[in-house]
Amino acid sequence: MLNAVKQSWLTFKSIFTGMGVTIRHFFGPSVTLRYPEERMELPKGARARLFVNIDDCIGCNLCARACPVNCIDIETVAATKDVDLGKTSTGNPKRFWLTRFDIDMAKCMYCDLCVHPCPTNCIYMVPEYEYSEYDRSNLVYHFSNLEPEMVAEVKEKAEQEAEQKKREREEMMRKKAEEKAKKELEEKKKADEEATKNEKENGGE
């Protein structure tokens, strides 16, 4: 009997202790933010969205290779001899036209692995988180700043140059081959001549 009274006293006591805690919180301040009106300041290094400073990109493809989910899609075209793409702000010479630099943020898992290998620090995370879309295809970010005509032109030029190089190389190869053939022919001739000479000499005796 006494035990039962004690137990129920303890029950009430623990309930009132709990209610004391909640009523203190009731009159305490709120800890939440009213989101669209108030926004949380993200710290400097927050990883929320990938950004590419395309002017500094040298098209080395290291980030795409580091990505575990293959969300970075890069297409580069070698620059022709007549144009100079200049240098990046870090002093690396640029040798490629970046005809495509797409990042699919729907696939991205914000792991930061692409950021570290970049030699020019041009791909990095920015603390911007309000970019939801109704269509998933809108989450593919195109960072290449070349116009489509420009891309076509560049590609054509590069192709032409490649063609020319190929032709040149072929020419060279042909020349080489011709020379080689000539040489061989001459050598053969020589050998033949020598052989006939020897024969003659031998025959003369």
Partner 1 sequence: MAAILIHAAIPLTIILVYALVAIWGERKIAGFIQDRLGPMRVGGWHGWAQSIADLLKLIQKEDIIPTNASRFLFKFAPFMMFAASYAAFAVIPFSSAYIGSMINIGVFYLLAVTSILTLSVIMAGWASNNKWSLLGGMRSAAQMVSYEVPTIATVLTVVLVAGSLNLMTVTEMQAGNDTLGFLPNWLIFQNPFLIVAFIIFFISILAESHRVPFDLPESESELVGGYQTEYSGMRWAMFMLAEYADMLLLSLLGATLFFGGWNSPFGDFMGGPAWGFFWFMLKGLLLVFVMMWIRWTLPRYRVDQLMHICWNILIPLSFINLVLTALWEVIF
Partner 2 sequence: MIEVISKETGNKEMVINMGPQHPSTHGVLRLELVLDGEIITKVRPHIGYLHRCFEKYAEQMDDYAKVIPYTDRMDYVSAINQEHGYVIALERMLELEVPERVEYIRVIMAELQRIASHLLGIGAFGLDLGAFSPFLYLFTEREKILDIFEKVTGARLLYNYFAVAGLMRDVHPEFKTDTAEFVKTFRPKIKELNDLLSYNKIFIQRTANIGVLPEKVAFNYAASGPVLRGSGVKWDLRKNDPYSIYDRFEFDIPVGTGEVGTLGDCWDRYMVRVKEMEQSLRIIEQALDGMPDEGDVMAAIPKRIRAKEGEIYVRTESPRGELGYYIVSDKSASPFRVKARAPSFVHLSLLPAISRGSLIADMVAIVGSIDIVLGEVDR
CA gap 112, 32 in Å, rounded: 29
Residue 112, interface with partner 2 (CB under 8 A)?
A: yes
Smallest separation (angstroms) from partner 2 to the CB of 2:
17
Quick check: 111 and 73 in contact, CB under 8 A?
A: no
The contact mask relative to partner 1 for 15-54 (x = CB under 8 A, - = no) is: x--xx-xxx-xxxxxxxx-x--------------------
- Output 115 or 146, the one with its CB closest to partner 2: 115
CA gap 50, 128 in Å, rounded: 9
Q: Which distant-in-sequence residues (6+ apart) come within 8 Å of 141 by Cβ?
A: 50, 102, 103, 104, 105
98 phi and psi, to 5 degrees? Answer: -95, 95
- Output 30 or 202, the one with its CB closest to partner 1: 30
Q: What is the token pair recorded at 42?
A: 């993200």
CA-based R_g, the chain, Å: 37
Smallest separation (angstroms) from partner 2 to the CB of 179:
44
CA gap 124, 112 in Å, rounded: 8
Residue 6, interface with partner 2 (CB under 8 A)?
A: no
Residue 78, interface with partner 2 (CB under 8 A)?
A: no
The item of partner 2, partner 1, none sharing an interface with residue 148, based on CB under 5 to 8 Å by kind, is: none
- Output 28 or 43, the one with its CB closest to partner 1: 28
Residue 185 Cα distances to 182, 188, 192, angstroms:
5, 5, 10
Residue 121, interface with partner 2 (CB under 8 A)?
A: no
DSSP H helix total and E strand total for the chain: 3, 5
Residue 105, interface with partner 2 (CB under 8 A)?
A: no
Q: Pick one of 109, 162, 173, 191: the residue that binds partner 2 (CB under 8 A).
A: 109
Interaction site with partner 1 (CB under 8 A)? 4, 8, 15, 18-19, 21-23, 25-32, 34
Residues that bind partner 2 (CB under 8 A): 7, 10-11, 14-15, 17-18, 20-22, 25, 31, 42-43, 45-47, 66, 68, 109-113, 116, 125
